[in-house]
Structure 1
Amino acid sequence: MHELGIVFHVIKRLENLAEENKLSEIQSVTLEIGEVSGVVPEYLQDCWKWAVKKTEIMQNSELKIEPIEAVTICNDCKKTYRTVEFGKTCPNCKSDNTVLQVGNEMNIKQIEAC
């Protein structure tokens, strides 16, 4: 379960940010997660609920997750398509000369703090 490692990394980054900006509490964090990133949002939520209780500044913080749709581009016909639905094969020209454009990333999008 790599979600726990991700949560620890995010918490550490937020603690450093809170210290740099003299924040007393982080109320919520919004993460963008690509739908083919391999991160399971439900596992991430469970790990978050457990891990934030161990930090003073984030004990009551909420984790919000926004999915990023995976999009692939075909190098032959130059069209984009939804990756999860069609996989590596372009639905327009049937080529497998394709590259994932977005949908594999995870970003800290927003932090609500005081």
Structure 2
Amino acid sequence: MHELGVVFRIIDDLTEVGKENEIEKIHSVTIQLGEVSGVVPHLLTDAWKWAAARTELMKDSELIIETLPAVSYCEDCKCEYETVAHGKTCPNCGSVHTYLLKGNEFLIKEIAAT
């Protein structure tokens, strides 16, 4: 389960932000997670609950996940389409000359703290 490693990385980043900004308590963290990022949201939430409970800064904090849709681009017909629904094959022209535009992101969007 690489979600625990991802959570440790988030906690490290937030700990650094907390020190730099003299934050005493983080109440919630909002992340943006691409549909095809490879991270499983419910496993990430479970890992967060376990790991955050072990830090004073993030104890009892909430992890809010915003899902970003995956979108691919077809080089042949120049259209964009939903990646999850159609995979690598363009639904417009049937081409496989496509690439992912967005949907594999993993970003910390917002921190609510005191």
Q: Alignment partner of 1:54: what SS?
A: coil
Runs of 5+ consecutive residues of structure 1 not aligned to the other structure: none
Cα shift readout 1:15-70 (whole Å, capped 9, x = no counterpart): 00000000000000001101111100000000000001111111011000000000
Q: CA RMSD in A?
A: 0.5
2:2 corresponds in structure 1 to 2
Match of 1:25 in 2: 25
Structure 2 residue aligned with 1:96? 96
TM-score by length of 1: 0.99
The alignment-based identity, stated in percent, is 55
Runs of 4+ displaced beyond 6 Å: none
Tell me the residue number matched to 1:49.
Answer: 49
Shift of 1:93: 0.8
TM-score, with length taken from structure 2: 0.99
How far 1:105 sits from its partner (Å)?
A: 1.1
Residue equivalent to 1:73: 73
Aligned length: 114
Residue 72 of structure 2 aligns with an amino acid whose one-letter code is T
